[in-house]
Amino acid sequence: MKLSDEKLIEFLWKSSLKSFPAMLDALRYLDGKWVQEEAEYELFDGAMGDNPTESIQIRIPQIRGIQANALLAFVIHAQAFSLIARRPKGMAAQRGSPEEIVAFYELTPLGSYVVKVLEILTDISEGIQ
């Protein structure tokens, strides 16, 4: 599968990370990483009427200079463009504690191509300044 120019431009334009170095750092960080995520589910209890809202909270690692919510949005965005693959491995929840999920992230061939493009764009933008 090949990434067209239009799709590459759309990926860069719609990214939650707005700098080429940040996108490059995030993709490099995610490549070949086992990341422990913690998911907390607060479910509505119909019988008691407690906890009327439903929410999912995920703890993700932070990369210097990139906010956690921007990184999570970038991961979802990169997955939508098939640049990274995520293979989750669930772990049993202990009583009273949230479920922990271990996920393996890796770049797809398209992701490796985008990393090369971002390296070139970063080098060019640093040369201009």
- For the chain, what is the domain count? 1
Q: What is the pLDDT of residue 48?
A: 41
Does pTM top 0.75 for this prediction?
Answer: no
CA dihedral 89, 56, 72, 17 (to 10 degrees): 170
In the chain, which stretches have pLDDT less than 70? Answer: 1, 35-65, 90-101, 129
Q: How far apart are CA 80 and CA 83, in angstroms?
A: 8
> CATH number for the domain including 76?
1.10.10
Q: Determine the pLDDT at residue 14.
A: 92
Residue range 96-127, pLDDT digits in tens: 555 666 778 899 999 999 999 999 999 988 87
For residue 63, give its domain range.
Answer: 5-128
What pLDDT does 87 receive? 81
